[in-house]
Amino acid sequence: MRTEQPQTIRLTDYRQPDYLIDETHLTFELFEDHALVHSRLLMRVNGGQGALPPLVLHGQELTLQSLAFDEQPLAVGDYQVDAHSLTVQPLTKSFELVITTRIEPQNNTALEGLYKSGGMFCTQCEAEGFRKITYYLDRPDVMSRFTTTVMADRGAYPVLLSNGNLIASGEHEGGRHWATWEDPFPKPAYLFALVAGDLYRIDDSFTTMSGREVELRIYVEPENREQCAHAMDSLKRAMRWDEQMYGREYDLDIFMVVAVNDFNMGAMENKGLNIFNSSCVLAHPNTATDMAFQRVESVVAHEYFHNWSGNRVTCRDWFQLSLKEGFTVFRDSEFSADMNSRTVKRIEDVSFLRANQFAEDAGPMAHPVRPESYMEISNFYTLTIYEKGAEVVRMLHTLLGAEGFRKGSDLYFERHDGQAVTCDDFICAMEDTNGVDLTQFKRWYSQAGTPQLEIEGHYDAATSSFHLHCRQSCPPTPGQTQKLPFVIPLRMALLDANGQELPLYLAGQTQSLGTETVLAVTEAEQVFVFEQVSAAPLPSLLRGFSAPVKLAYPYSRDDRVFLAQHVDQRLLKVYRGVLADSSLDPAMVAEILRLPSEAYLIELAQQADVEAIHKVREWVRRELASALADSFRAVFQRLEEAGGSYSASAEAMARRSLRNTVLGYLMLTDSSDTLLACVRQFVEADNMTDRQAALIALVQSPHEQEKQAALEEFAQRWSAYPLVMDQWFSIQASNPLPGGLERVQALMTHPAFNIRNPNKVRALIGAFANHNLVNFHRTDGAGYRFLADRIIELNQLNPQIASRMLTPLTHWRRFDTQRQALMKTELARIMACEALSDDVYEVVSKSLN
């Protein structure tokens, strides 16, 4: 067990920096066994009269080689260095500091700071990775103008990149060369980036709304050059969309995207030089599924949108992370909704939030959208910061209306351009433009937990009025036992017996609100009275999921009896109707046919019975499959005829989505025709979406021979494509048939698996623990033991990934006492390890509390 605890950082301890850095001049000398980083900082004290405070620079895992103050080299006694910092005493209010550090990128397996991915040097600095490159004020409220020179061997690293514009380059003796980049926009160190490698470049350009020409470049390893078109198109669409929807134009003359294979996250918004996990850039119909295409589109857009919501206006401190991430997720989800089907996108986002963020909110790591404390900031890139944060911004949009929201965002960008600000500043801009008081609304930022909204409706025939009784509450979360009422926007309508929306008259208001309105539920208990309602209506509540809450609308006893007796037949009738109606959006139909995920059903339960949930869900799927087999076959046929050859259009994607959903159902029936069709689809598909859907159906089927043949053929054919092999791992790791753990253990030794590559870890270990619940939750605890062993291994190599892999174990409270005990045993075993990283320590210790 580690002896000392990591420090807890608190929002209430925030203080302005003592010093500022006006200019940062960096020179990197890159070699195979080390790198030298020369840094020249032009600094000054931040305000303040009187004695100059000591200057404390952040730094980790650095070897300090030299240090000079205003050209005077410092001797060893003139400064102090410890594992996290370098302290010196300035003698003048402004000064120049020159530092040389030595680092070893080739040994950096944590993938934070400067590291090597394959034959390429690259960086990842958010949140606190810059301090692993050089000593610096590594905090987002210190913004500086950067100039960066990169020097490396020309043969191995012909491409040398950093933020901003290329201003000079040249040759050195011995086959080395250099390039100097200058970024005119002041930025925090977390937005710094550097890349050196042998990369192929795809060029394009974009003319901004004011007529400026921007060069667009995507850099990839040469073998991937055919897989960039979709990312480039997505980028141009995102640039146009941000101009049209937010009036925001790109600011530099060049925008670069680099794809790397080893990356902890999806992508990073470094100024002018976004660095991407190759899984979020590369997409070709032969190798990527429709889902992967959509992911690329949204990640490219997300990182691009950060140029305004994150870079031009950044965060004052990391407690404000949702200021940029929540807002930017809202922006990218609206973009995706505009590019694809809005309804389907919303259903996907809401399903994801309810299955995963709700679980986080109910677990030991629950925290507010603006957390109050953390040990390791990397642990706070959470679903709460991202997805709930985006829902909070969406609620503002709902309450203020599209126009009010846009005016607010205009003021926010103008008022704070070039600044590092807080969530309060964002809200304040919304308040000032709209003349509203959002004090109570801000509880969404400070209170954790998922609010529960219970609603009952009562019709009073005597007065022709309908009473909507709303009661809200929020369960306790770590450190927060009592909660105050939230502002809950409740989008609603009243339906008559024919499903027609009724005009809404709120008591006391003579004018109709139209047929749909947004009520603001602001009190613990509140009643809304609708008048002029001529018969008992059916309320349609929380439309579009207008707030991230759990809605309970108690059915009457009669309703329940009716539902219990008739739900099957009624559901089948609905499904038959939906399947027969060829005028409906196929993607929407596919969504309707999708049953709630096991993860969501577990989240709903107080105490989840994993096996029962799996069995019942599978049983329902089989029942649907056999009862609807004829409809399914007809749809499968109809969509095949309409299909023709591959197209990447939204319509074609929607058709594939429905057809493959239907194939999944049909494969649950015992039909040799379907098996043949499935094998044929696997062999003949002209795109990865169809091929993969067939492979999944085969893998989850009992047809051993066909399954093994398909898996082998697939692995042979795609062995040179790491992203396709990730899919191959993930499909097998998610297979719920018995023996899942053994299959995963065997795959760990497959030559394509590599525990140092985060994509591989997610594809095999992550998929098993998160998407193969019956196997992971085996009653003998072997699934838990396996995961804990991998976490202990990863703790040494890559603490961020190790910590992320912990999530399934942190949810132990949801399960029976036997499983709880087994899960806690594994958490305790991890806790007992020597040299536990801060990342893993924080999550494990909080989970065991």
User: Measured between alpha carbons, how far is 546 from 395 in angstroms, rounded to an integer?
Assistant: 7
Each residue 464-503 as x (binds ligand BES by CB under 6 A) or -, in order, gives ----------------------------------------
Nearest approach in angstroms of CB 464 to ligand BES is 49
Write phi, then psi, for 670 (nearest 5 degrees). Answer: -90, 75
User: Measured between alpha carbons, how far is 341 from 752 in angstroms, rounded to an integer?
Assistant: 36
Binding partner of residue 138 among Zn ion, ligand BES, none, CB cut-off 5 to 8 Å per kind? none
Distances (CA, A) of 406 to 245, 248, 312, 396, 731: 8, 11, 17, 11, 42
Nearest approach in angstroms of CB 223 to ligand BES is 24
Using the rule CB under 6 A, give the single segment among 149-157, 297-305, 362-370, 678-686 that binds ligand BES: 297-305
Binding partner of residue 639 among Zn ion, ligand BES, none, CB cut-off 5 to 8 Å per kind? none
User: Hey, how many other C-beta atoms are within 10 angstroms of the C-beta on 191?
Assistant: 25
Residue 329 engages ligand BES in binding (rule: CB under 6 A): yes
Nearer to Zn ion, 325 or 361 (CB): 325
Contacts 24+ apart (CB under 8 A), 749-754: 752/715, 752/719, 752/722, 752/725, 752/728, 753/729
Nearer to Zn ion, 328 or 333 (CB): 328
User: Measured between alpha carbons, how far is 557 from 447 in angstroms, rounded to an integer?
Assistant: 35
Residue 298 engages ligand BES in binding (rule: CB under 6 A): yes
**Residue 606: both structure tokens together:** 């107080």
Query: Closest by alpha carbon to 109, among 584, 807, 755, 661?
Result: 755
Residue 770 engages ligand BES in binding (rule: CB under 6 A): no
The β-bridge relationship of strands 94-103 and 35-45 is antiparallel
CB of 63 closer than 8 Å to CB of 103? yes
Write phi, then psi, for 120 (nearest 5 degrees). Answer: -120, 140
**Residue 385: both structure tokens together:** 């910061």
Binding partner of residue 265 among ligand BES, Zn ion, none, CB cut-off 5 to 8 Å per kind? ligand BES
Nearest approach in angstroms of CB 839 to Zn ion is 19
User: Measured between alpha carbons, how far is 553 from 534 in angstroms, rounded to an integer?
Assistant: 22
**Residue 4: both structure tokens together:** 């000392």
Using the rule CB under 6 A, give the single segment among 294-302, 354-362, 433-441, 691-699 that binds ligand BES: 294-302
**Residue 303 known to be catalytic:** yes
Using the rule CB under 6 A, give the single segment among 252-260, 295-303, 641-649, 725-733 that binds ligand BES: 295-303
Nearer to Zn ion, 328 or 336 (CB): 328
Residue 345 engages ligand BES in binding (rule: CB under 6 A): no
Binding partner of residue 139 among ligand BES, Zn ion, none, CB cut-off 5 to 8 Å per kind? none
Nearest approach in angstroms of CB 323 to Zn ion is 11
Nearest approach in angstroms of CB 466 to ligand BES is 41
Angle at 409 between CA 408 and CA 410, to 5 degrees: 90
Distances (CA, A) of 362 to 228, 378, 452, 489: 40, 20, 12, 22
Residue 126 engages ligand BES in binding (rule: CB under 6 A): yes
CB of 564 closer than 8 Å to CB of 574? no
**Total number of residues that touch Zn ion (CB under 5 A):** 2
Sole binder of ligand BES in the list 131, 187, 302, 691 (CB under 6 A): 302
Each residue 186-215 as x (binds ligand BES by CB under 6 A) or -, in order, gives ------------------------------
Nearest approach in angstroms of CB 32 to Zn ion is 33
Nearer to ligand BES, 111 or 613 (CB): 111
Using the rule CB under 5 A, give the single segment among 323-331, 603-611, 618-626, 646-654 that binds Zn ion: 323-331
**Residue 633: both structure tokens together:** 């076959």
CB of 247 closer than 8 Å to CB of 410? yes
Nearer to Zn ion, 234 or 681 (CB): 234
Binding partner of residue 348 among ligand BES, Zn ion, none, CB cut-off 5 to 8 Å per kind? none
The β-bridge relationship of strands 505-506 and 488-495 is unpaired
Nearest approach in angstroms of CB 325 to Zn ion is 5
Sole binder of ligand BES in the list 221, 262, 325, 591 (CB under 6 A): 325
Sole binder of ligand BES in the list 103, 202, 299, 602 (CB under 6 A): 299
Q: What is the DSSP letter of 5?
A: P
Each residue 247-286 as x (binds ligand BES by CB under 6 A) or -, in order, gives ------------------xxxxx-----------------
User: Hey, how many other C-beta atoms are within 10 angstroms of the C-beta on 559?
Assistant: 10
Residue where the block lists tokens 């606190």: 128
Nearer to ligand BES, 221 or 325 (CB): 325
Each residue 642-681 as x (binds ligand BES by CB under 6 A) or -, in order, gives ----------------------------------------
Sole binder of ligand BES in the list 146, 178, 304, 381 (CB under 6 A): 381
Nearest approach in angstroms of CB 335 to ligand BES is 11
- What are the strands of the beta sheet with 452-460, ordered from one edge? 505-506, 525-531, 465-473, 452-460, 550-552
**Total number of residues that touch ligand BES (CB under 6 A):** 17
Nearer to ligand BES, 303 or 348 (CB): 303
Beta-carbon contacts of residue 255 (< 8 Å; ≥ 6 apart): 206, 214, 215, 216, 217, 235, 272, 274, 304
Nearest approach in angstroms of CB 805 to Zn ion is 21
User: Measured between alpha carbons, how far is 668 from 21 in angstroms, rounded to an integer?
Assistant: 64
Which residue is closest to ligand BES by CB? 266
> Catalytic one among 112, 126, 221, 303?
303
Nearest approach in angstroms of CB 642 to ligand BES is 32
Q: Burial of 811 by CB count in 10 Å (0-12 exposed, 13-18 middle, 19+ buried)?
A: buried
User: Hey, how many other C-beta atoms are within 10 angstroms of the C-beta on 52?
Assistant: 15
Binding partner of residue 266 among Zn ion, ligand BES, none, CB cut-off 5 to 8 Å per kind? ligand BES
User: Hey, how many other C-beta atoms are within 10 angstroms of the C-beta on 733?
Assistant: 25
Interacting residues toward Zn ion by CB under 5 A: 325, 328
Catalytic sites, residue numbers: 303
Residues that bind ligand BES (CB under 6 A): 126-127, 265-269, 298-299, 302-303, 306, 325, 329, 332, 381, 386
